[in-house]
Structure 1
Amino acid sequence: MAREAEASRILIFGGTGYIGKHMVRASVSLGHPTCIYARPVGPATLPSNLNLRREFRSIGIHIIEGELEEHEKIVAALKKVDIVISALAYPQVLNQLKIIDAIIAVGNIKRFVPSDFGSEEDKITPLPPFEEFLEKKRKIRRAIEAASIPFTFITANCFAAYFVNLLLHPHNPHDEIVVYGHGEANDIGKYTIKVANDPRACNRVVTYRPKSNIISQHQLISLWEEKTGRSFKRVYVPEEDLVKLSQTLPPPENIPVSILHSIFVKGDLMSYEIDDDDLEVSRMYPEMQLTTIDQLLNIFLTDPPEPARAAFG
């Protein structure tokens, strides 16, 4: 069983994106034949994306260029793989219905991991703009369940590199850091590949919430001050201001504000308990070394963080 899982053929949608490329590299490093379904190269394709595609081809990754509307092309690709992972950014969430249709048509997929990687949408109720977005993700979950497609839903709970960069702006010369609310509400790629091949995670929700990485905004800022030798002025944004912005900003600008409220003010990531029989990634794989917040900040001291595109929620 274990050897069979190690040989699983994996197809990743969004494999050249912010999260997806880390999953692709992890998949290859763990010995899986890996391919990517990506948009065709065009005039708007960034040089960094072209370089990434060259890197992937050099290590044997097959890139299938196509649109999500090309049903037959997706079906043909799915016939050659065992596991499907979607790392599509949040504006494309409902486009995953096209992937589901193709998975139903082929009938051979052993596991589908949709693009969640954010909050546990079945357990929280945030401000309306974020709630509307999460309802789209719930629609994907319910469609997968209704089609009896073997799945793993992943709740990454505010993955560190994105939000540490968002809060600290590590290479910003200014000595101000924005604190949302009162500041006290407290490596995705490799773990996603692991759980997608793990029989324990079939038709289950897997939560990424290691205790060692639970930290408040104030604790994070203090740790950054200690490492940099700088002192930062905390500029507070009251909860009522975030709520007002969520009501007055036009979509999609109101969504990130609502996400900030959910995470940093309400503390939705920590508002529900993880029971002993729930699947939490650090408990599933205690032998694997997690990147701690302390280690991440050490990386930020020397390496500029890459620009993050809309991939959270």
Structure 2
Amino acid sequence: MALKSKVLIVGGTGYLGKRLVKASLEQGHETYVLQRPEIGVDIEKVQLLLSFKKQGARLVIGSFNDHRSLVEALKLVDVVICAISGVHIRSHQILLQLKLVDAIKKAGNIKRFLPSEFGTDPARMTDAIEPGRVSFDDKMVIRKAIEDAGIPFTYVSANCFAGYMVGGLCQPGHILPSRESVTLFGDGNKKSIFVDEDDIATYTIKTIDDPHTLNKTLYLRPPANILSQREVVGLWEKLIRKELQKSSLSEQEFLNIMKEQEYAEQVGLTHYYHVFYHECLANFEIGKDAEEASALYPDVKYVKVEDYLKQYL
């Protein structure tokens, strides 16, 4: 039996990062978590790092402001997963990942790098509208740096995080499902793809030693979770045995509302626009340069949207 890769997770205290640490340990990988001095006196992050240590992870000190420390941390492992949060200011996030790419080049031992993507495949979003396209363009900058450097990679396209989308019945600014009303995007019938965050972590860790996903994109498309907003609402109505009052937001009305928001909100709303009006997550077939996670790993019993909704009852 082949030895499992040693894994370094960057951004391990974040929303997805902490789940990646857990999944890596559960799947038997020697797991390292980058401990950045920049966390200072953030007691919650410190306690989370200490909890990782109790679970068997190894903490390794490294800073994006200290190239040598990053290189030394990378030399301890075979695989690097970056889970830096997307809430960072644009230029800051690009800078951090480019620094990580430079350190990987210098270390020279990394067998695979998974950059911080985990959402919509940026390679398919070249026609995205401003200002939201900035996040896709940024990810393509990182991809180009990775591929120009000849670094082995896997890109993970996890589509919609269930916690952000399913809980609020796909409505921006909502994370709990209403028992009274819901606003639909257009007719609400455009298909999207929803994935439980723990399942995202499980699939991600499974891919790191899989030759089928080397230098490819891994799409997370659990079949039962390819649903329209209206279907998600219908599942919730079935659970609460009540029909919600529904209103509809036309495409132009959505764009008008979006233009009135601050820049950061506009970036986020652009993603909703392409997902729920243009069906950008489910309107294409996966090509030869990609794999689908639930087909590769049928042993993973992923959380279905209907079951995910039950926690809100």
TM-score by length of 2: 0.88
Q: Which amino acid aligns with 2:102?
A: D
Q: Could you tell me how far 1:98 is from its partner in structure 2? A: 0.6
Q: Could you tell me how far 1:119 is from its partner in structure 2? A: 0.6
Q: Could you tell me how far 1:161 is from its partner in structure 2? A: 3.1
Q: In the alignment, what sits opposite 1:305?
A: none
Q: In the alignment, what sits opposite 1:3?
A: 2
2:40 alignment partner, one of 21, 39, 42: 42
2:215 alignment partner, one of 193, 203, 206: 203
- Residues 22, 51 of structure 1: CA spacing in aligned structure 2 closer, same or farther, 3 A cutoff? same
For the Cα contact (< 8 Å) 2:79–2:113, is it kept in 1?
A: yes
Q: What is the distance in 2 between the residues matched to 1:233 and 1:93?
A: 40
Q: What is the distance in 2 between the residues matched to 1:70 and 1:144?
A: 20
Equivalent residue of 1:112, what SS?
Answer: strand
Q: Tell me, yes or no, if structure 1 residue 16 matches structure 2 residue 13.
A: yes
- Residues 180, 51 of structure 1: CA spacing in aligned structure 2 closer, same or farther, 3 A cutoff? farther
Q: In the alignment, what sits opposite 2:97?
A: 96
Aligned residues: 296
Q: Could you tell me how far 1:300 is from its partner in structure 2? A: 3.3
Q: Which amino acid aligns with 1:131?
A: R
Q: Could you tell me how far 1:174 is from its partner in structure 2? A: 5.7
Q: What is the distance in 2 between the residues matched to 1:247 and 1:298?
A: 35
- Residues 216, 73 of structure 1: CA spacing in aligned structure 2 closer, same or farther, 3 A cutoff? same
- Residues 212, 68 of structure 1: CA spacing in aligned structure 2 closer, same or farther, 3 A cutoff? same
- Residues 66, 235 of structure 1: CA spacing in aligned structure 2 closer, same or farther, 3 A cutoff? farther
Q: Tell me, yes or no, if structure 1 residue 69 matches structure 2 residue 65.
A: yes
For the Cα contact (< 8 Å) 2:74–2:104, is it kept in 1?
A: yes
Q: In the alignment, what sits opposite 2:50?
A: 54
For the Cα contact (< 8 Å) 1:113–1:152, is it kept in 2?
A: yes
Q: Which amino acid aligns with 1:297?
A: L
Where do 1:256-295 residues align within 5 Å?
256-275=268-287, 278-295=290-307
Q: Could you tell me how far 1:275 is from its partner in structure 2? A: 4.4
- Residues 227, 120 of structure 1: CA spacing in aligned structure 2 closer, same or farther, 3 A cutoff? same
Q: In the alignment, what sits opposite 2:145?
A: 143
Q: What is the distance in 2 between the residues matched to 1:225 and 1:128?
A: 35
Q: What is the distance in 2 between the residues matched to 1:268 and 1:172?
A: 24
Q: Could you tell me how far 1:286 is from its partner in structure 2? A: 1.5
Q: What is the distance in 2 between the residues matched to 1:129 and 1:166?
A: 24
Q: Could you tell me how far 1:272 is from its partner in structure 2? A: 1.5
Equivalent residue of 1:265, what SS?
Answer: helix
Per-residue CA shift, 1:136-188, capped at 9, x if unaligned? 00010111000000000111111333311233656466622232232111100
Unmatched segments (≥5 aa) in structure 1: 302-313
Q: What is the distance in 2 between the residues matched to 1:74 and 1:245?
A: 43
Q: In the alignment, what sits opposite 1:78?
A: 74
Unmatched segments (≥5 aa) in structure 2: 192-198
Q: Could you tell me how far 1:229 is from its partner in structure 2? A: 2.5
For the Cα contact (< 8 Å) 2:180–2:244, is it kept in 1?
A: yes
Q: What is the distance in 2 between the residues matched to 1:46 and 1:219?
A: 41
Per-residue CA shift, 1:111-150, capped at 9, x if unaligned? 0000111111111222211212110000101110000000
Q: Could you tell me how far 1:246 is from its partner in structure 2? A: 3.8
Q: What is the distance in 1 between the residues matched to 2:64 and 2:220?
A: 29
Q: In the alignment, what sits opposite 1:251?
A: 263
Identical pairs, percent: 35
- Residues 221, 173 of structure 1: CA spacing in aligned structure 2 closer, same or farther, 3 A cutoff? closer
- Residues 170, 128 of structure 1: CA spacing in aligned structure 2 closer, same or farther, 3 A cutoff? closer
Q: What is the distance in 1 between the residues matched to 2:285 and 2:179?
A: 38
Q: Which has the higher contact order (CA 8 A, sep 6+)?
A: 1
Q: In the alignment, what sits opposite 1:132?
A: 134
Q: In the alignment, what sits opposite 1:218?
A: 230
Q: In the alignment, what sits opposite 1:306?
A: none
Q: Could you tell me how far 1:50 is from its partner in structure 2? A: 3.8
